[in-house]
């Protein structure tokens, strides 16, 4: 499986629903044991989300930090700081980025390519370099 960019997100970008600029909307990232989403999904879902019971994982995930919008040549892109879930015990295979400001609208589903585990340690989602070919969200 690969990352998913929901169809609704594409039209919401064009209608001004999402503001990724620094100081814009607040975005969260939630972790999942298996993927509950498809291209037709429109909002954050709790189905298959990592359990918050005894794991130190916060239900709904965590707020992404240091968001920024930039352009490299003719490609606009978004960047976030790497997100660390501290002192957790969990296994996740997917993550979802959603707009916490605007009705939890789904932006992107990340496929980790298999289970990733942290045992009483840090679980880090490392975002790619913010440039025209690698940024997590980019429009060419």
Where residue 77 falls among pLDDT bands split at 50, 70, 90?
Answer: very high
Q: What pLDDT is attached to residue 93?
A: 98
Q: What pLDDT is attached to residue 62?
A: 98
How much of the chain exceeds pLDDT 90, in percent? 96
- pLDDT tens readout for residues 10-29: 999 999 999 999 999 999 99
Mean pLDDT of the region 30-58: 96
Mean pLDDT of the region 25-54: 97
Where residue 1 falls among pLDDT bands split at 50, 70, 90?
Answer: low
Radius of gyration of the chain (CA): 15
Q: What pLDDT is attached to residue 2?
A: 84
Euclidean distance between CA atoms 60 and 49, whole angstroms: 8
pLDDT reading at 4 higher than 70 = yes
By CB atoms closer than 10 A (0-12, 13-18, 19+), residue 43 is: middle
Mean pLDDT of the region 58-66: 97
How much of the chain exceeds pLDDT 70, in percent? 99
Q: Which residue in the block uniquely carries the two structure tokens 């995930």?
A: 61
What are the boundaries of each domain within the chain?
7-139
* DSSP secondary structure letters along 63-99: E--S-EEEEETTEEEEE---EEEEEEEEEEEEEEEEE
């Amino acid at each position: 499986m690969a990352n998913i960019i929901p169809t609704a997100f594409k039209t919401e970008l064009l209608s001004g629903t999402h503001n990724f600029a620094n100081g814009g909307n607040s975005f969260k990232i939630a972790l999942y044991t298996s993927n509950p989403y498809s291209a037709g999904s429109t909002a954050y879902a709790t189905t298959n989300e990592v359990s918050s019971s005894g794991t130190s994982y916060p239900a709904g995930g965590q707020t992404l930090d240091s968001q920024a919008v930039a352009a490299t040549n003719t490609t606009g892109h978004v960047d976030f700081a790497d997100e660390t879930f501290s002192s957790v015990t969990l296994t996740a295979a997917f993550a979802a980025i959603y707009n916490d400001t605007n009705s939890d609208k789904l932006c992107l589903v990340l496929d980790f390519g298999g289970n990733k585990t942290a045992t009483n340690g840090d679980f880090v989602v490392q975002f790619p370099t913010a440039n025209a070919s690698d940024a997590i969200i980019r429009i060419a």
